[in-house]
Structure 1
Amino acid sequence: MSEDLAARLHSLGYRLTPQRQLVLRAVEKLGHGTPDEILAEVQQHASAVNVSTIYRTLEVLEELGLVRHTHLSDRAPTYHSVTDHEHFHLVCRNCHRVISVDPEVAAPLTKALEQQHGFVVDVGHLAIFGECVECDQDD
């Protein structure tokens, strides 16, 4: 992975820095992480890294197609690695549980949007908010 990452970064005029490696590893370890959560993970290995470095690094990694982000709350974006399977997110407004869902579940909707509106959905960026079954049973 490091050689592939180094080659991709170099092709865009970037170097493979220790911070970039740490951020990518943190995203992969966390599964889904906000910049603050990624910072906390990275600082376990390199305490001198700050949040602006995290944001800049995530921007580069997203440009390279190594991470993606979505908005799972009204706060900071949440990043996940593209090495994980393609998915979209269901977010419970009550307990904040996040469920990863295979894009095929949304295929009828995405196909209809493309056919009727000429619109291609970026499923990996999709988050649908509602109430999970556990919270629904509490009512």
Structure 2
Amino acid sequence: MTPQRQLVLDAVSELGHATPEAVCTRVQATAPAVNITTVYRTLDLLEQLGVVKHTHLGHGAPTYATSEHEHVHLVCHHCGRVDEIDADALDDLAGALQASHGFRLDATHVALSGACRDCADRADAEADAALPDETVEAP
């Protein structure tokens, strides 16, 4: 492990879910000569070694986390909030995919898109408010 690689790994560990650009910024605070190309190559190598994993949380750059950081990401496509749940929450789905297709799901590499509780509640309230008032007044 070279000093530059260790700096990249340390940055990923400290930042949690981090884009390569965020990792580069963190590394450059200590080692200004490290460039984004080096960070990308190091992240690729660390992923090949099983030390980090990447996930696409939406459009844009992937985010990286250490491999012991195993969970499923719940990404709200309204506000951008990212929640985490245990990967075993998808065990039933993984079993069904294995049985029906012989497919082995890596649930630690998954981001599910939808609406967080707050955005879903707000959408429900807006939908309820848009419904016509059905009360009829007697003549």
TM-score w.r.t. the length of structure 2 is 0.85
Q: Does 1:105 align with 2:89?
A: yes
| Matches of 1:46 and 1:95, distance apart in 2 | 34
- Segments of structure 2 that go 5 or more residues without pairing to the other structure are 124-139
How far apart are 1:74 and its partner, in Å? 1.4
Q: Which residue of 2 aligns with 1:117?
A: 101
Counterpart code for 1:128: L
Counterpart code for 1:99: D
| Matches of 2:3 and 2:83, distance apart in 1 | 32
How far apart are 1:75 and its partner, in Å? 0.8
Q: Which residue of 2 aligns with 1:70?
A: 55
- Segments of structure 1 that go 5 or more residues without pairing to the other structure are 1-15
SS at match of 1:111: helix
How far apart are 1:108 and its partner, in Å? 0.6
Q: Deviations over 1:59-115 (max 9, x none)?
A: 01001100000101211111110132x211110111111111101111111100001
Q: Percent identity at matched positions?
A: 50
| Matches of 1:31 and 1:49, distance apart in 2 | 20
**Equivalent pairs, count:** 123
Counterpart code for 2:29: Q
| Matches of 2:105 and 2:59, distance apart in 1 | 21
SS at match of 1:32: coil
Structure exhibiting the larger radius of gyration computed from Cα positions: 2
| Matches of 2:112 and 2:50, distance apart in 1 | 23
TM-score w.r.t. the length of structure 1 is 0.85
